[in-house]
Amino acid sequence: MSDSAFTSIGLLLFPALTQLDLTGPYEVFARAPNTKVHLIWKDLQPVVSDRGMAILPTTTFNTCPKLDVICVPGGPGQINLMEDEEVLSFIRHKSIEARLVTSVCTGSLVLGAAGLLKGYKATTHWASLDQLTLLGAEPINERVVRDRNRITGAGVTSGIDFALNVVAEIYGSDVAKNIQLNLEYDPAPPFTCGSPRTASAELLKKVQEQLAPFIEKRRQATVKAAANLEK
């Protein structure tokens, strides 16, 4: 651990992130014993999510302590991060010291852009899963994927599953179970359509068409990031 008494977990906070990618894991991590959770950005000004929620960073790149776990969430703002060398350099630096290098949703594409997923199995939101291949990763269509010290979560809501897995890794399954029960995390969604595997063909096609323009924009950013890795 980075401190004799505490596990230090850092969540990257950035403009236009999907807040649940961050706040789901935060809620789990903040309940773990002897754990300090840091929300990290370039400065301490409020950061606005893709849906308008403002979140305050707790530390900056320059003042961030040593991290045992670094986690990169996703969201539309991830596109800009993939060519932001200040962000990518920070993630690379922290990944060297971290016990676990992790992500939720399209945060894995940022890890990939930083060169941290080459040769690793990983996951991301289903609509962008194939893009991981461009960054040297092996896409796995699972809710949480572990490969050595890389742990990646799939889309948005998987962040809670992801975080419970991380807590179990650090503190053991009993602690993770305690947190899960305290959160009453017992999903019973009203509809069986939460993934391409369970959605109807008609609904899946509709959502894919809705997402297509943005997914293409994200793909172009991934292609560019992949080219930068080869330089």
- In a 3-state reduction of DSSP, which class is residue 71? strand
* Amino acid (one-letter) located at 157: T
Structure tokens, 117: 């997923």
Structure tokens, 111: 């890890």
Active-site amino acid positions = 105
- Compute the distance between CA of residue 46 and CA of residue 13 in angstroms, rounded to an integer: 10
* Amino acid (one-letter) located at 52: G
Contact criterion met (CB below 8 Å) for 138 and 122 = yes
Nearest to 21 by CA among 153, 139, 110: 153
- How many CA within 13 A on the CB side of residue 131? 28
Nearest to 55 by CA among 37, 31, 35, 68: 37
